[in-house]
Amino acid sequence: MKLGPSLTAVFHLAIFPFAAPAQKPPTEPRPVTVGDLFQIREVSDPQLSPDAQFVAYTVKTLLLKEDKSEERIWSVPTAGGDAVPMTAEGVSSSHPRWSPDGKFLAFLSARNEGKTQIWILNRSGGEAQHLTDTPQDVDDFAWSPDSTRLVVVLRDPSEEELAAAKTKDKDPDDKDKKPKTKKPWVIDRLQFKVDEVGYLDRRRTHLYVLDLATKALTQITSGDYDDAQPAWSPDSRLIAFASNRSKPDPDRTYNTDIWVVAANNTDKGAQLTQVTTNPGDDSAPAWSPDGKLIAYTTQLDPHLFQYATHHVAVSPASGGSARVHTQSFDRNASAPRFSPDGNSIYFIADDGGTQILARVPAAGGEVTRAIAGRFILYAYSLAKNGDIAAQIDMADRPSEVYFQPAASNKLTRLTKTNDAFLAQLKLVQPEYVQFKSKDGTAVHGYLYKSLDHTPGKKVPTILRPHGGPVWAYYAEFTHLAQLLAANGYAVLFPNPRGSSGYGESYAKAIWADWGNKDYQDDMAMVDYAIAQGIADPDKLGVGGWSYGGISTDFIIAQTTRFKAAISGAGEALNTSFYGHDQYQRDYETELGRPWEDHALWDKLSPFYKVANITTPTLFMGGDIDWNVPILGGEQMYQAMKSLGRETRLVVYPGEYHEFKAPSHLKDRLERYLAWYAHYVKGDPAPPTPPPSK
């Protein structure tokens, strides 16, 4: 049955009449400020209802005063109209998923200071109901096509979680309030650490099936493996999933395969069907409408790990020869989905500084672009009638929900989450430019002119190497670039060799050769900006995060062109990171073991070039970052301090690789501006921001 605008009523959301406010004269748009980061609301995860009449999605807000973030679920009609909130303020909710029969909307939420659980809203009305009550957090879930069950992804509970659950069941008011000394971590895995988790034990993620009628939760996979990305077969009998079940030790390989298990399995997955046998990474399974095929992404050369292109492939659901459909396309693919008629496979493609929705025939053939443009398409949802909802981010507009009906293929923006706020701002539209590197290689990047740009006037300029290294800059809204432009800087976002979106050969060009070709490409963009009369060669700054921080260290060790540098979450003495961060497998694959090829490890360590650095450099990072630990910043800072160079170290407590606390995000931005203002612009104010009010 077609649902109309009454959706707000059925979810008990009252709309009150109000008096129209007096019209205010339009205000002049203003430059972007640090505080504007906390006005931007992040739209993500669009999910079309089965009848394609509504899109559920999430909106995340950074709450500076409370120093936390909050995420809510909203819904907007595809025919156009106002968006309405589905979940209340004050508690975060995420991962909305419609039941295939259209009666329910399930989602994840940690309410009442408990674990993250599955909650469900009845479309006929009423409050959200608690669906699961597990000792541990629910990681993921997916509806069965017949709407009677959910497959749930759970990590094995810890002893503490089990004990807490027993205490709660026994007497929730009789809890021991005295803090207990934590037990030691006992480690016996090769891969023993990961960012945002910490030390790893033998607790693994497995699949469970939840029966909605009985609330029974049945484990259907097990073993010393992590199982993820479950996908139901069209007849609700089978579940495909991705798992690295390499023998004798999954931690030693990148060999994730696609497997199939019966949904009514009672032996915890003792009997599985192995669908793929490729030695690389096979992930993100999706069934064909007739249940005969499974589409997925595949990397054909495990030796290249992150440098290898992810392709779209298809295999028989019962196992057999794989067909790889996008090798000639040579662009990273993700999130494959069969079209409703089964004739095509949609996927997100990383393509030359953009991400688009592409399509390839299910039998193989030419790749076409279903939704494309100079933007980044982060996610999409495909309805049974072929309609598409997508999350699209543009250079002058943060992510919003867009809708493309199958009947017309006309893309329409449905949400206006940030419109009122953006109307207050004066923004810079970046240019996607091409230039040649030292050896003649064509390189691309995004160039932001300063907000007060005047033709012929050279301005202070910041080079911002990106992370990854296999990643790229895209045509998306970037608060940092807009902030720097608003403060009088031109901003350079290059996509040097090592970047994704330009083919596998381009990505692997820096294999075991960091800070060489990518350095040349980064410098080529600086030269380009100078030649264009934009960048002032005497007022250059550089800075980046993660591999961008590593690139920064390599850059300032090879040139004195820059007046200031900011190196965030970078490495220094690479051998000291072996066994300390999460990349043991990657190191051994790309560089070999450090005691077997220490010359290469030393060559790629910025630490040994620190005596060349005279650029005033600010080092930053989080104190519990196990992706790129603060150790690198500490080592570089200590060495430069020992040499008597101008430097500073800022360590943020309780932060992983990706910062979460709004107060720390604000502090970091303020330090960026103060450091560059003092050393690049020559501002007499000290390179430390004043204390926040």
Q: Give 175-225 pLDDT, tens digit per residue.
A: 556 667 888 999 999 999 999 999 999 999 999 999 999 999 999 999 999
What average pLDDT does range 254-258 have in this prediction? 97
Token reading at 427: 């923004």
Q: Could you report the per-residue pLDDT of 37-91, keeping only the tens digit for each?
A: 999 999 999 999 999 999 999 999 999 999 999 999 999 999 999 999 999 899 9
> What's the pLDDT band for 165 if we cut at 50, 70, 90?
confident
Q: Could you report the per-residue pLDDT of 294-318, keeping only the tens digit for each?
A: 999 999 999 999 999 999 999 999 9
Q: Cα separation of 252 and 302, whole Å?
A: 12
Q: Could you report the per-residue pLDDT of 626-646, keeping only the tens digit for each?
A: 999 999 999 999 999 999 999
Residue 173 scores a pLDDT above 90: no
| pLDDT score for 155 | 97
| pLDDT score for 13 | 30
* Cis upstream peptide for 21 (omega within 30°): no
User: Do residues 203 and 265 touch, judged by C-beta distance below 8 A?
Assistant: no
Q: Could you report the per-residue pLDDT of 457-494, keeping only the tens digit for each?
A: 999 999 999 999 999 999 999 999 999 999 999 999 99
Residue 393 scores a pLDDT above 80: yes
What average pLDDT does range 532-553 have in this prediction? 98
| pLDDT score for 164 | 85
| Beta-strand relationship, 344-350 and 282-287 | unpaired
> What's the pLDDT band for 568 if we cut at 50, 70, 90?
very high
Residue 7 scores a pLDDT above 50: no
**Start-end of H helices in 4-83:** 7-10
What share of the chain in percent tops pLDDT 90? 88
| pLDDT score for 51 | 96
What average pLDDT does range 154-164 have in this prediction? 91
Residues 6 or more apart whose CB falls under 8 angstroms from that of 195 comprise 582, 625, 626, 627, 656, 657
Token reading at 189: 């895995």
Q: Cα separation of 445 and 226, whole Å?
A: 38
Class of residue 178 by CB neighbours under 10 A (exposed 0-12, middle 13-18, buried 19+): exposed
| pLDDT score for 127 | 86
What average pLDDT does range 32-36 have in this prediction? 98
Closest CA to 538 of 647, 688, 686, 682: 682
CA dist 541 to 124, 388, 439, 483, 673, Å? 58, 43, 24, 15, 11
| pLDDT score for 163 | 87
Closest CA to 562 of 530, 596, 594: 530
Per CATH, the homologous superfamily of domain 428-679 is Alpha/Beta hydrolase fold, catalytic domain (3.40.50.1820)
Token reading at 30: 């203003």
Class of residue 16 by CB neighbours under 10 A (exposed 0-12, middle 13-18, buried 19+): exposed
CA dist 230 to 48, 240, 259, 261, Å? 19, 6, 10, 10
| pLDDT score for 9 | 30
255-261 contacts at long range (C-beta below 8 A, 24 or more positions apart) = 255/279, 255/280, 255/281, 255/302, 256/281, 256/282, 256/283, 257/282, 258/282, 258/283, 258/285, 258/294, 258/296, 258/315, 259/227, 260/233, 260/294, 260/317, 261/207, 261/220, 261/221
